[in-house]
Structure 1
């Protein structure tokens, strides 16, 4: 590492500048092709693609985000050739088979034939789909048959030194008597053009000697030297000698060599805190710029030019075979495409296009938008041309949810453009462009969640506890439902009974006591949770699926919720709602009680983190990305205990999920009374909340779009206790409120119902939306109508799982498409027209409920953007009489007036759903 730092410290600014440019590519501020400054490499890269030049350029430009599915098969084949190198049982590096009997690794792993003694190449050391270690097999290294190395330190006197590679032969049979021919080699392609800057690459490796791993996140190639490429990626000691694969072509581009650390003026390695690192500094504390690998083209060039002994010539010929073939194929294809290439020049990022005269660069700020348009090449080309003329730069338009997109259908698209003036006015301007149906800003939005405490003075409208911690409140619960109200689930009942009152109210107790109930896990039925990510509370230990979890906020595969306390940062919202599905029956925590409805099946809940906290979603695109992956993975159920104001994007997402056949269980909402998005839309299952008296929870949203009601007030859930004297936060339980808690009940019921009727539902007649409608119909028929709920606004009654499981799916030809009489275009227009007002009122309601003062600004806009758009001002004058003043004024509307006004705006939008 010190050698790398000393050698490349002086060119560190070049790497850092390239890294910054990469971020511009990722932010869609510059085209991918403009990042690559080597035109010859671009030509060679294009020569490897099939098709006409415009299509090829589009495909490569989109390569950062989309890949053809065959790449997965290629990666699987490549992975099988990777081995772990051990010496006397100790793992020391990674290698891979590059001929029928030769592996390659780093020189700093094997620097001499003598060093190879006692070493083995172990293949198949990896986990299977059940997360168990496969049976591996190991081959001795045979340096006498073939050995070629290049030192990791460059020596001017030694040709081809400094490339840090070693090629060495293997024995023909493993120690387990398995022939080497069972391992398929990956021949190296030494021709350039396998990747261009900005495209992604992956590393297949054995970090720290662990079972085989693959890095798929943050993997772009962004800089280079004469012999090295520099790329993002996570590696550890033991990764040395790994293959670096171009994701776009499936070809090996580099031999992983070392991490590239940031250095000071004396080329000393720095930590993230700015201190000088020492030999004992852990890898995770080093301030990494990226990783570097030896270019395969340089390795093959060295092999081709080195004069080897005659006995090695045959092996050398095999090692060079693929390079020879690629040279012929690419040269031929490159010549054929040369003329076409000239017609479509690569964008030049060095020359900024001039903006329109009316827009000064200093006045422009970049803004994300979501719009709907027909997914048609001609339509999108027209939109692109008009946007280019408007903004003075070529726009980057992306499908928001590609997994279920279809040609010719209206789809959601994303756009990032420079804006001068009010961003909401610009959204309306975008809607006037031919081809764009509707457009809206994609900015942070307040979220709607449930309360964590019981019946405190303000609990019926309390969103969350301000300091992020809860307190046990069973005394208050018993006073309310045993002494004052006399609930049948509490009076004369033991703590272990009334802590699980929600089971008895929904008949989960009798259903789960039946040993013949099919296991959802056993049938492969999965539930995805859209929330804040999981914590390590003992109640849910082992219940979240940490292999399939995803974080769409930080864009990685770790959905852990960092425990951050503070005003309105309540860690563990997903832990509490998730506990109702997968909570452990037995814990060492005092006052243990309620357990997960699916826990007895050893069910794993898949957590998707779509927001940092329970009050804010950064962009709707995070929600779209999560839903897109659910559709792509064919997950059947989503549980979402979060709500948003009605938006065009959430309306489109709800229909996407519905058409794909996903049962999307959504909280109806809290405090605001009217049903929130996405629960308000026909494509979802909207869930309201009841209490231990089988009455409505006062804070529950209600309306004609609610499908079912389930326990949501005073439900027993895990909490964190405020730490004392600097100690770790403690763990306990409390009774909490919210439709957040009602929703998991319906998700669990959906899993059991799908398992019970798997044979019927999977016979092909219930494809897509029909499966959702069959479940909705079963919910309606089986709902418990004997309750104390209001006559309207709470669906057909309280969830009754016992009766639900006895309700067979309605015949397919009897089911009615939920969007049959709905004008989607009109809904989008109304949503856009009233959207800014809805979000503004939404903020003020949340400001009142959560104690945060908000002005008249749209959503979380910063102070200098606080002014409402001209259109919204006009709308405000129409909706708000003079006595109330302006929404932008310092004076606030009363709580009742706020709710009434928001309901009025919301119903303007909701009414379009019913037409």
Structure 2
């Protein structure tokens, strides 16, 4: 078998690995994750870390495939892509991965029966595919999301004549705890730049008369609505509210991130949002909805949402919630997909909400922690 890569290409990979910090011995197990242990044990060990990387690449480059059908160099390169954020090394690893994967699959670079200059396939910029399990995870996450309707009350009675329920989105963070935005349960329209605040007693009445509809995936399907006993925690500034449902909906809760989402300049981070825009059946915004920036409190992202999407979970590709969607912010000099945009969407970091709960609503925080750990 001929080697997958030339000796010059192996040297280029070694240099990229050194630039990415892969000479650190603690990183080596991450790069070999998924490669047969028996084969890994046959690789020579070298005292100098940089030479160890070069030795590993040379050895794997000479192995067509293992007895289980896997290609060790291809697996190593896939792991290298995952572990790399620097643009230069990432491009080198992705280019080598494309070449090795194509060669391992027996595919020619140029098809003779195709037009000149056309190749069978190619990765555009970076590999944006995800495991098929991503779809199953999204289906499971969607079961925890509900359309929320909240009727406005004033002075203990339904607000008239504009007493139509306000729509939003909520999701289970614990078996009987539903989280959404404070402005959703506040159920008041904006007045210029200000949103009137419901009195505390009216706020509780609004929550108690709210209806949360799970499995609202299509208009043709009737599903039950859940009621709530009251509001157990909230904050106007962070714009979150947690409702206690009357009965447990008996469905999985969404997992939340305890660490803030961080995004380095030029880093590619996609987020996914399950929502009920306009109070309509459930919709999902997937993966090309990239994060623009993030700080300790907020995450800004390019995602299609509408009124009624407030309170939606903002999830990474493992369907862990990193932010609570709350609205849109006007921006200047921002481009997305080659066009300027005047708006980016904004959500509150879940880690910030959890920290606020720990400081101000200890029992609710403990209940959520227990549910997340189960």
TM range (shorter): 0.5 to 0.7
238, 254, 258: which one pairs with 2:327?
A: 258
Q: Indicate the residue corresponding to 1:78 in structure 2.
A: 141
CA 1:239–1:50: 2 relative to 1, 3 Å: farther
Q: Does 1:169 align with 2:260?
A: no
169, 174, 196: which one pairs with 1:94?
A: 169
2:211 partner SS: strand
- Partners in 2 of 1:226 and 1:316 — Cα distance? 19
Following superposition, the deviation at residue 51 of structure 1 comes to 5.3
Following superposition, the deviation at residue 92 of structure 1 comes to 1.6
- For residues 714-734 of structure 1, what are the alpha-carbon distances to aligned partners after superposition, in whole Å with 9 as ceiling and x for unaligned? xxxxxxxxxxxxxxxxxxxxx
Q: Indicate the residue corresponding to 1:625 in structure 2.
A: none
Q: Does 1:59 align with 2:59?
A: no
Q: Does 1:297 align with 2:351?
A: yes
Q: Indicate the residue corresponding to 1:136 in structure 2.
A: 223
- Partners in 2 of 1:302 and 1:212 — Cα distance? 29
Q: Does 1:318 align with 2:355?
A: no
- Partners in 2 of 1:296 and 1:51 — Cα distance? 32
Following superposition, the deviation at residue 134 of structure 1 comes to 2.1
Q: Does 1:211 align with 2:281?
A: yes
CA 1:117–1:324: 2 relative to 1, 3 Å: closer
CA contact (8 A) 1:194 1:253 kept: no
Counting matched residue pairs gives 232
- Partners in 2 of 1:54 and 1:150 — Cα distance? 46
CA contact (8 A) 1:104 1:165 kept: yes
Q: Indicate the residue corresponding to 2:312 in structure 1.
A: 242
CA contact (8 A) 1:219 1:231 kept: yes
Q: Does 1:124 align with 2:215?
A: yes
CA 1:324–1:303: 2 relative to 1, 3 Å: farther
Following superposition, the deviation at residue 296 of structure 1 comes to 0.9
Following superposition, the deviation at residue 126 of structure 1 comes to 1.0
Query: Residues 141-290 of structure 1 correspond to what in structure 2 (within 5 A)?
Result: 141-143=228-230, 147-151=232-236, 162-172=237-247, 180-192=248-260, 197-216=267-286, 218-247=288-317, 249-262=318-331, 287-290=341-344
Q: Indicate the residue corresponding to 1:710 in structure 2.
A: none
Following superposition, the deviation at residue 55 of structure 1 comes to 3.8
Runs of at least 5 residues in structure 2 that lack an aligned partner in the other structure: 1-15, 20-25, 36-75, 85-93, 95-125, 152-163, 187-202, 334-339
- Partners in 1 of 2:173 and 2:271 — Cα distance? 19
CA contact (8 A) 1:189 1:322 kept: no
CA contact (8 A) 2:182 2:235 kept: yes
CA 1:134–1:147: 2 relative to 1, 3 Å: same
Following superposition, the deviation at residue 193 of structure 1 comes to 5.9
CA 1:221–1:120: 2 relative to 1, 3 Å: same
CA 1:317–1:64: 2 relative to 1, 3 Å: farther
- Partners in 1 of 2:365 and 2:331 — Cα distance? 38
Query: Residues 446-457 of structure 1 correspond to what in structure 2 (within 5 A)?
Result: none
- For residues 488-542 of structure 1, what are the alpha-carbon distances to aligned partners after superposition, in whole Å with 9 as ceiling and x for unaligned? xxxxxxxxxxxxxxxxxxxxxxxxxxxxxxxxxxxxxxxxxxxxxxxxxxxxxxx
Following superposition, the deviation at residue 191 of structure 1 comes to 3.0
- Partners in 2 of 1:123 and 1:316 — Cα distance? 24
Q: Indicate the residue corresponding to 1:13 in structure 2.
A: none
- Partners in 2 of 1:92 and 1:230 — Cα distance? 23
Query: Residues 622-633 of structure 1 correspond to what in structure 2 (within 5 A)?
Result: none
Q: Which has the higher strand share?
A: 2
1:226 partner SS: coil
1:110 partner SS: helix
- Partners in 2 of 1:96 and 1:168 — Cα distance? 10
Runs of at least 5 residues in structure 1 that lack an aligned partner in the other structure: 1-30, 35-42, 152-161, 173-179, 265-285, 326-915
- Partners in 2 of 1:133 and 1:50 — Cα distance? 46
CA contact (8 A) 1:84 1:91 kept: no
2:254 partner SS: coil
- Partners in 2 of 1:124 and 1:293 — Cα distance? 24
Query: Residues 397-796 of structure 1 correspond to what in structure 2 (within 5 A)?
Result: none
Q: CA RMSD in A?
A: 3.4
CA 1:115–1:222: 2 relative to 1, 3 Å: same
CA 1:57–1:241: 2 relative to 1, 3 Å: farther
CA 1:182–1:324: 2 relative to 1, 3 Å: closer
- For residues 171-227 of structure 1, what are the alpha-carbon distances to aligned partners after superposition, in whole Å with 9 as ceiling and x for unaligned? 11xxxxxxx343322242313469874221111000011100001253111202320
TM-score after normalising by structure 1 = 0.23
1:237 partner SS: coil
- For residues 396-445 of structure 1, what are the alpha-carbon distances to aligned partners after superposition, in whole Å with 9 as ceiling and x for unaligned? xxxxxxxxxxxxxxxxxxxxxxxxxxxxxxxxxxxxxxxxxxxxxxxxxx
- Partners in 2 of 1:102 and 1:292 — Cα distance? 23
- Partners in 2 of 1:54 and 1:227 — Cα distance? 35
- For residues 849-871 of structure 1, what are the alpha-carbon distances to aligned partners after superposition, in whole Å with 9 as ceiling and x for unaligned? xxxxxxxxxxxxxxxxxxxxxxx
- Partners in 1 of 2:82 and 2:352 — Cα distance? 28
CA contact (8 A) 1:202 1:214 kept: yes
CA contact (8 A) 2:166 2:184 kept: no
1:318 partner SS: helix
Following superposition, the deviation at residue 118 of structure 1 comes to 2.1
- For residues 350-390 of structure 1, what are the alpha-carbon distances to aligned partners after superposition, in whole Å with 9 as ceiling and x for unaligned? xxxxxxxxxxxxxxxxxxxxxxxxxxxxxxxxxxxxxxxxx
CA 1:233–1:64: 2 relative to 1, 3 Å: farther
Following superposition, the deviation at residue 289 of structure 1 comes to 3.2
1:134 partner SS: coil
CA contact (8 A) 1:222 1:231 kept: yes
